[in-house]
């Protein structure tokens, strides 16, 4: 394998880790779930680093990377809720944000036209907070984690998810308005 395929190979491996991660959570194998989650996180960091460092960006990678992120978050939050480690309403907020973003992109594409998608800084922060939260919830099954910390983490996830989703709606609405006013 040449190095030019390394970023996409890492991203695909992250996509494939979603199923075992979900099954481990549902099977109450929280230590192993943490290990798989860390491997997924490492592949996320390495695919981006290798793409930048080696200059191997691809249209496929640009699509697969956010899909892998969203799939892992979706699976993790839904399995955490199924295992009653978090409330379903919290999983719905996180998944709902992603649904709004995807539907917004689809509507924008069909109503306005093509666009360049890029994660905002707020979206990157949102992802980091969600991942940290999932690690916290899984770690709380193995070690003692203070209840107030979990409460603050839940509030942070909700606030950031709503803020990030709103940011996308406002940004794309503004772009659509500017596009329509020019044409």
64 touches 117 (CB < 8 A) = no
Assigned CATH for 3-182:
1.20.120.1760
Contact by Cβ (8 Å): 73, 130: yes
pLDDT(81) > 60: yes
pLDDT at 39: 93
Round the average pLDDT of the chain to a whole number and report it: 89
DSSP letter, residue 106: H
pLDDT value of position 56: 77
Spatial separation of the C-alpha atoms in residues 109 and 102, rounded to whole Å: 11
0.85 surpassed by pTM? yes
Euclidean distance between CA atoms 148 and 180, whole angstroms: 48
Cα distance between residue 138 and residue 145, in whole Å: 10
Mean pLDDT in residue range 164-182: 84
Which residues, in sequence order, are CB contacts of 162 under 8 Å at separation 6+?
93, 97
**Spatial separation of the C-alpha atoms in residues 75 and 97, rounded to whole Å:** 14
- The pLDDT tens digits of the residues spanning 95-148 come to 999 999 888 888 888 877 777 767 788 998 999 899 999 999 999 999 998 989
Can you read off the two tokens belonging to residue 87? 């409330």
Residue ranges of domains in the chain:
3-182
The larger pLDDT score, comparing residue 62 to residue 157, is at 157
């Amino acid at each position: 394998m040449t190095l030019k395929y390394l970023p996409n190979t890492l991203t695909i491996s992250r996509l494939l880790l979603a199923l075992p991660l979900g099954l481990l959570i549902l099977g109450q194998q929280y230590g192993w779930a943490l290990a798989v989650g860390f491997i997924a996180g490492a592949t996320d960091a390495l695919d981006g680093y290798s793409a930048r460092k080696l200059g191997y960006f691809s249209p496929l990678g640009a699509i697969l990377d956010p899909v892998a992120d969203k799939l892992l978050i979706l699976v993790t939050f839904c399995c955490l809720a199924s295992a009653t480690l978090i409330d379903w309403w919290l999983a719905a907020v996180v998944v709902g944000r992603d649904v709004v973003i995807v539907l917004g992109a689809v509507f924008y594409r069909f109503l306005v036209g093509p666009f360049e998608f890029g994660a905002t800084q707020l979206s990157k922060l949102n992802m980091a907070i969600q991942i940290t939260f999932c690690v916290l919830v899984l770690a709380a099954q193995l070690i003692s984690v203070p209840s107030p910390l979990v409460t603050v983490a839940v509030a942070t996830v909700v606030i950031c998810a709503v803020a990030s989703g709103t940011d996308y709606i406002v940004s794309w609405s503004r772009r659509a308005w500017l596009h329509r006013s020019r044409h």
